[in-house]
Amino acid sequence: MRVALKLAYIGTEYHGSQIQPSVETVEKELFKALRNLRIIESPKSANYICAGRTDAGVHALGQVVAFDTDRPNLAIPRIINSELPPTIWAWAHAEVPYDFDARRHAVSRHYRYIMSGEGYDISKMREASKLLLGTHDFENFSRSNGEKSTVRTLERVSIRVDGNITKIDVVGNSFLWNMVRKIVTALAMIGKGVRDNDWMVQMLSPDIYEEGIELAPAYGLTLMGVNYEEKINWIEDDYSLRRASDQNSKRILRHRVMAEVLEELINHE
């Protein structure tokens, strides 16, 4: 049977999702769990495929992986999670056709970037974001990784303010290396008044204009989900979702306390 999983992870501790020698990655932990449970012998023999890699420090809510197994009764979230660290958890699974390719069959991917909302002209950022929609050459918004083409199509770029936080959602067919984080930097520069829409138009014409821009920090980026044309009958695991919620509630409390501690240190009160 071929099984697909939806994975979530907190990427802070990992050097990205893709397995690499001598460093901690999401796939390193996942492969170890799948082998320990004898769900797969190796990623290669199981025809393991991931929907797409995420960079070091980037998080995920809806990463999708697929693999073949002769023990489908064990390839369910609550069992797999028993062998995973608490920063990685599966929360849904599905039986998929043997030819299902989690990467090539994806029709769109949804990323969300969360940043401070203070000091930005959101209306200017929204106007500039409209220029990104459609098919463009995003070479100026990427870090070269040997891609044959840097042309990509964006379906949606939306920006909303929630308190003192700004959330930027980007949906496209696929993404270049570092593309979303550089788009965020560009929009932030326009929101600060450092650049304008004419500059954004130039950035989308790399054949006549070239400029390197910094990456927005990795900690603000999350892969929210991957969409497929074919219908996948996902079975969500309520136990795994509750367990993840409980664990992350403790992390949220810790970070809130640490934020207050840092404020105290800065204010010297």
User: How does pLDDT run along the chain (269 residues), one tens digit per residue?
Assistant: 999 999 999 999 999 898 888 899 999 999 999 999 999 999 999 999 999 999 999 999 999 999 999 999 999 999 999 999 999 999 999 999 999 999 999 999 999 999 987 889 999 999 999 999 999 999 999 876 556 789 999 999 999 998 889 999 999 999 998 999 999 999 999 999 999 999 999 999 999 999 889 999 999 999 999 999 889 999 999 999 999 999 999 999 999 999 999 999 998 75
Q: What's the pLDDT at 163? A: 85
d(CA 99, CA 264) in angstroms, rounded, equals: 56
Long-range contacts of 206-213 (CB under 8 A, 24+ apart): 206/137, 206/139, 206/140, 206/150, 207/137, 209/140, 210/139, 210/140, 211/140, 212/140, 213/140, 213/141, 213/182, 213/185, 213/186, 213/189
**55 is known as an active-site residue:** yes
Catalytic one of 55, 68, 162, 237:
55
Element at 205 (helix H, strand E): none
List all residues 6 or more positions away from 175 whose beta carbon is below 8 Å from its beta carbon.
Answer: 52, 109, 111, 152
**Residue that is written with structure tokens 């138009």 in the block:** 201
Distance of alpha carbon 38 from alpha carbon 207, whole angstroms: 51
- For residues 115 and 188, is the Cβ–Cβ distance under 8 A? yes
